[in-house]
Amino acid sequence: MIVGVLNQKGGVGKTTIAVNLAAHWARAGRRVLLVDADPQGSSLAWSSARERDPLFPVVGMAKPSLHRDLPALARNYDLVVIDGAPRVNELARSAILASDIVLIPVQPSPYDVWAAADIVQLVGEAQGFKPGLRAAFVINRKIAKTAIGRDVSAILDSFPLPVLDAALRQRVIYAESAAQGLSVPEVQPRGEAAREIAALAKGIADLHLQREAA
């Protein structure tokens, strides 16, 4: 399974989600590859900051031929996670075409919701070439007990993509672990944030089952 984490808006937490999903699956015994398809190289920078032995390899593939080059490499892994590029361009299109499932992080902000329209359009175009492609929103940095935190799911319902039940709350542990080249499942394996990542991974697995059954 290849999971692309993409949104044309920067700063929505793509790398945080990609790294922590990869770590969750690797700690569960799966063979995982993390692909940094963003020219900014955030996942590669995270890997470079790490002092412990790696949980999984991280490779840079920020190129518009990703969808052609990745399948041969992906055969050696159970799961591949793509940390996609911001902005709607050929890199984003290639990452979408390379994916089986596209995860779209959205923060509880009207700016993020408005920006989601572009990536939804790209996914729709890609489904014309790849009908089995599935995509879903995940709410990231959700702030408890706020109106926008409660209402963002309803706002996203106007798009033709589902919103996963699993949401990631705004927690300091995500930034603190990243600064050390670590993941939340490593730093606090029994913490709330690790449980959020596990719930998100289950939501993605359910999408994959639906894709396989279609």
pLDDT digits (tens, 9 = 90+) for 95-146: 999 999 999 999 887 778 788 888 899 999 999 989 999 999 999 988 766 5
**What beta strand segments (E) does 26-182 contain?**
32-36, 58-60, 79-83, 101-106, 134-139
Give dist(CA 174, CA 116) in Å, integer. 23
And the tokens for 175?
A: 């930034």
**What's the pLDDT band for 69 if we cut at 50, 70, 90?**
very high
And the tokens for 165?
A: 């039940």
Q: What is the pTM of this model?
A: 0.93
What DSSP state is assigned to residue 10?
A: T
- Model confidence at 43: pLDDT above 60: yes
And the tokens for 158?
A: 């106007």
Q: How far apart are the first and last CA of the chain?
A: 15
Q: Domain segments of the chain: what residues?
A: 2-213
Element of type H or E holding 153: helix 147-156
In sequence order, what are the beta bridge partners of 105?
Answer: 138
The architecture that CATH gives domain 2-213 is 3-Layer(aba) Sandwich (3.40)
For 151-168, the pLDDT digits (tens) are 676 778 778 899 999 999
**What's the pLDDT band for 148 if we cut at 50, 70, 90?**
low
